[in-house]
Amino acid sequence: HARRIEGIDKNIWVEFTHLAAEYKVVNLGQGFPDFPPPTFIQEAFGRAVSGDYAMHQYTRAFGHPPLVKILAKFFGRIIGRDVDPMEDFLITVGAYQALFCAFQALVDEGDEVIIIEPFFDCYYPMVKMAGGTAVYVPLRPRGICDQAQSVRSSADWVLSPEELASKFTPRTKAIVINTPNNPLGKVFQKEELQVIADLCVKHDVICISDEVYEWLTYDGNKHVKMASVSGMWERTVTIGSAGKSFSATGWKVGWAMAPAHIMKHLKTVHQNSVYHTATAAQEAVAMGFQREYDKFGTEDSYFVQLPSMLHAKRLRLAQCLESVGLQTIVPQGGYFMITDISSLKVDLNDPSTEGEPYDYRFVKWLIKEKGLATIPVSAFYSPEHRAGFENYIRFCFAKEDSTLNAAEDILRQWS
């Protein structure tokens, strides 16, 4: 095998999705909604594969024209600049492939890439496959000593500007940010982004900004696009996902948006590997964005309805976890919530998981003994920093109320 794939053969999603299927659990693990996408986009997909206008053949390599046109209009309006549909967009096989194209196109042997912990796990293997070196900087919980305040928020997890600055070297090529963050739910505020932006400008570094949960913010938190921060359009690759936007993760339509001088390199990777994403899925997503463009900010908009639906589910899950004595970190955005399991004294006693991090062992025990699937949070840390974060597990709350009820029953019976 090639050296570039050494040490990255284990994958949290492969492992835990398999386990969850094997034990027929209540699944709050892998991040996908178990409710259907909105009817308008299901119908659009139906039209794209049937009748006179069906789209069964190849389309343009870098993105189906109706889709890149509406995305450019849509995001151009949000960031307040003219975005060129043909030059500044690439449609990919999910956000995953957009990330892969970005790392392959921009990172060389010996380059350093700064990753903010906790991070969506694929950033590290992708940096490694490109020949780069990952340099980590942690979000740290601000010390809250007030015992009465048992509920913390993802807003309490912050970067130290000094520590961040110390990670930039002449070899730094890029920094990856993820807002709203998976798994923590942190939504970076404008001022926090500005600190990162200033360092990117100062050191001439590219920002890869993973914004797949951009519509999902709660309690008045606002998602700010890094590309809209001053000085950042020229150096930002913004990653998005139709799977997350329209609750259709299996469609695997994602995109990258970046200025032409950066985007042309991502296109080189794409044209020589995947070439293009399924035409009909792109057509349906184009119809979806056209509708959302017309209804933007109104109560008919799915991008307004989805967060309001998830807001209620998030409160419910937080209340349930708190009521059984689990301290949760209430997310400002996204569809995950993490909880501290250190107060639960469980006799794991499973020789098959001996030697694994505590949270991995706990999650496996929870799947096998209680029929509830979650994800261990140390999977979102580098091996070097994992040790301090073995006491958290992640729940996905983008689930039907019946699924959340079933999870609640399990938690209440056992506590």
CA distance 125 to 65: 32
- Partner interacting with residue 30 (select from ligand PMP, ligand GLN, none; CB below 5-8 Å by kind): ligand GLN
Per-residue x/- mask for ligand PMP, residues 4 to 43, rule CB under 6 A?
---------------------------x------------
CA–CA separation, 333 vs 215, rounded Å? 8
- 99's enclosing H/E stretch is helix 94-106
- For the bound state, the minimum distance from the C-beta of residue 323 to ligand PMP, rounded and expressed in Å, comes to 28
8 Å CB contact between 316 and 337:
no
Tell me: does residue 95 bind ligand PMP (CB under 6 A): yes
Closer residue to ligand PMP (CB): 274 or 324:
274
**CB-wise, 212 or 320, nearer to ligand PMP?**
212
Q: Identify whether the C-beta of residue 179 lies closer than 8 Å to the C-beta of residue 191.
A: no
For the segment 1-60, give every residue that binds ligand GLN (CB under 6 A). Answer: 13, 30-31
CA distances from 33 to 166, 334, 399 (A): 39, 12, 5
Q: Which does 94 bind (CB under 5 to 8 A by kind): ligand GLN, ligand PMP, none?
A: ligand PMP
Judge residue 295's burial from the number of C-beta atoms within 10 Å of its C-beta, 0-12 exposed, 13-18 middle, 19 or more buried: middle
Q: How far is the CB of 264 from ligand GLN (least distance, A)?
A: 28
Contact with ligand PMP (CB under 6 A) among 249, 328, 374, 378: 249
Q: Confirm or reject binding of residue 403 to ligand GLN (CB under 6 A).
A: no
Q: Which CB atom, from 30 or from 405, has the smaller least distance to ligand GLN?
A: 30
- Residue number with CB closer to ligand GLN (172 or 182): 182
Per CB under 6 A, 332 contacts ligand GLN:
no
The answer to whether the beta carbons of residues 253 and 282 sit under 8 Å apart is yes
Number of residues near ligand PMP (by CB under 6 A): 14
Q: How far apart are CA 13 and CA 29, in angstroms?
A: 9
Q: Which residue is nearest to ligand GLN (CB)?
A: 31
Residues 6+ positions from 139 with CB-CB distance below 8 Å: 116, 117, 118, 157, 158, 159, 181, 184, 186
**Calpha distance 245→303 (Å, rounded):** 7
> What crossing angle do the helices spanning 279-294 and 39-49 adopt, rounded to 10°?
140
Residue 243: alpha-carbon gap to chain centroid? 11
* Of the candidate residues 105, 212, 326, 411, the single one contacting ligand PMP (CB under 6 A): 212
Total site size for ligand GLN, rule CB under 6 A: 4
- Using the rule CB under 6 A, which residue among 178, 179, 209, 374 binds ligand PMP? 178
Rg (CA), the chain: 21
- List residues binding ligand GLN (CB under 6 A): 13, 30-31, 182
- List residues binding ligand PMP (CB under 6 A): 31, 94-96, 120, 178, 182, 210, 212, 241, 243-244, 249, 254
